[in-house]
């Protein structure tokens, strides 16, 4: 995930990174790069004897007085050395494309589930999913046994997010999160809330890289700062990522086991119910259908099967011992009729990964397609 640097010892970026490595480890040089499951666990931080004079603050945010004035307060709040935060933030760059990409799609655009689905449930991801499942079958079984999450849904997440690590993003995380922390677009309809979210993610990222002895200027991810095979945000990494391969270091970039265990643990922590399917097919009774009432809770399970049926939507093949609640899931198909499902608590859990019913259904469908291909 980290970009290669010229081998010249005099290259300014290499000098900058060595200074940062010295600051992070107190060991002179010894730069800690992108997380790998092979590297040994490093000793606790020991403050350096002296602070390097040339910190190399070459990023656009290093030239912003309003930003750099925030560094001391951030460092105190995070319990990190001020120079560590200063080097990280001061070498971050503003990225205009990140501002544009974070804005929601314009109103009036008709969503099309079939088009959306075709981006993810397609031959490349299915073949990659079969290979990934075969290579990591024991780990997937262990994760299912420990967390109760079937392998196909973990496979679905990793396939939708990054094609099992092929596309993890190539934007420096420090640049993405700094842009969204210090220059969040005010035109966003939830600007205040989202700005606060990304400011917290930047702080979580600095704390995470310090703890893991990773260089905060090296890790790369999505335009929103998501990282690794499962595209965890820094706060999710801190809360839900697990060392599933027991190597003493959580590595979501290179360890399939850590990625598998972390996704399953994430679902469990959000309330995954073992043995419950994420959805049921649904049939409608047109004369007694109260569609507005059924759609009002959106993706939040709010109706028993009997209550849903009384409102004109009957879930199909619901087990007699099912005691959960359901949500009517509507997926628009452009100008054609929408598709509908009765989503369970587990469907809602998948949307905690990405707050979209289209996303959750893609994860489910890709997981089912890979499972079918495995059997075939």
* Per annotation, catalytic residue among 82, 122, 144, 161: 161
Which two three-digit tokens encode residue 279?
A: 């959805």
If one looks up domain 12-44+56-100+170-226 in CATH, what number appears? 1.10.8.350
Q: How far is CA 93 from CA 58, 181, 182, 195, 209, in A?
A: 9, 12, 11, 17, 18
**Annotation marks residue 161 as catalytic:** yes
DSSP 283-305: EE-GGG--HHHHHTTTTS--B-H
End-to-end CA distance of the chain: 34
Measured CA to CA, the distance from residue 344 to residue 197 in angstroms comes to: 28
pLDDT tens, per residue, the chain with 376 residues? 333 333 333 434 444 444 455 444 443 333 333 443 344 444 443 433 333 334 578 999 999 999 999 999 999 999 999 999 999 999 999 999 999 999 987 666 789 999 999 999 999 999 999 999 999 999 999 999 999 999 999 999 999 999 999 999 999 999 999 999 999 999 999 999 999 999 999 999 999 999 988 899 999 999 999 999 999 999 999 999 999 999 988 999 999 999 999 999 999 999 999 999 999 999 999 999 999 999 999 999 999 999 999 999 999 999 999 999 999 999 999 999 999 999 999 999 999 999 999 999 999 999 999 999 999 8
Measured CA to CA, the distance from residue 363 to residue 120 in angstroms comes to: 8
Domain ranges, ordered by start, for the chain: 12-44+56-100+170-226, 122-168+240-275+346-376, 279-343
Q: Which fold has domain 122-168+240-275+346-376?
A: Lysozyme (1.10.530)
Strand-pairing partners, residue 283, are 314
| 287: CB partners within 8 A, 6+ apart | 312
């Amino acid at each position: 995930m980290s970009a290669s640097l010229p081998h010249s010892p005099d290259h300014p970026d290499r000098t900058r990174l060595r200074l940062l490595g010295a600051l992070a480890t107190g060991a002179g040089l010894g730069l800690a790069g992108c997380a790998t499951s092979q590297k040994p666990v490093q000793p606790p931080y020991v403050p350096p004897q002296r602070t390097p004079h040339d910190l190399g603050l070459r990023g656009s945010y290093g030239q912003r007085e309003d930003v750099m004035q925030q560094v001391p307060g951030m460092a105190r709040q995070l319990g990190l050395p001020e120079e560590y935060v200063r080097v990280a933030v001061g070498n971050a760059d503003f990225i205009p494309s990140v501002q544009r990409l974070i804005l929601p799609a314009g109103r009036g655009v008709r969503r099309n589930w079939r088009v959306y689905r075709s981006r993810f449930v397609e031959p490349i991801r299915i073949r990659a999913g079969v290979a990934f499942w075969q290579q990591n079958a024991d780990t997937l079984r262990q994760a299912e046994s420990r967390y109760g999450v079937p392998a196909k849904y973990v496979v679905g997440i990793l396939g939708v997010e990054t094609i099992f690590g092929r596309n993890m993003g190539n934007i420096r995380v420090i640049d993405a999160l700094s842009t969204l922390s210090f220059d969040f677009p005010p035109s966003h309809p939830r600007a205040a809330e989202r700005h606060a979210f990304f400011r917290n993610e930047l702080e979580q990222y600095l704390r995470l890289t310090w703890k893991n002895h990773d260089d905060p200027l090296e890790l790369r991810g999505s335009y929103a700062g998501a990282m690794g095979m499962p595209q965890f945000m820094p706060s999710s990494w801190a809360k839900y990522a697990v060392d599933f391969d027991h190597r003493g270091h959580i590595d979501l970039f290179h360890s399939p086991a850590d990625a598998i265990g972390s996704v399953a643990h994430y679902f469990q922590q959000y309330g995954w119910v073992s043995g419950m399917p994420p959805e049921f097919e649904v049939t409608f009774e047109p004369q007694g259908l109260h569609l507005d009432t059924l759609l009002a809770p959106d993706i939040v399970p709010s109706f028993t099967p009997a209550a849903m049926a009384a409102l004109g939507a009957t879930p199909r093949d619901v087990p007699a011992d099912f005691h959960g609640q359901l949500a009517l899931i509507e997926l628009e198909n452009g100008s054609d009729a929408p598709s509908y499902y009765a989503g369970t608590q587990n469907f809602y859990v998948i949307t905690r990964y990405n707050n979209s019913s289209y996303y959750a259904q893609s994860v489910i469908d890709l997981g089912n397609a890979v499972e079918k291909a495995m059997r075939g």
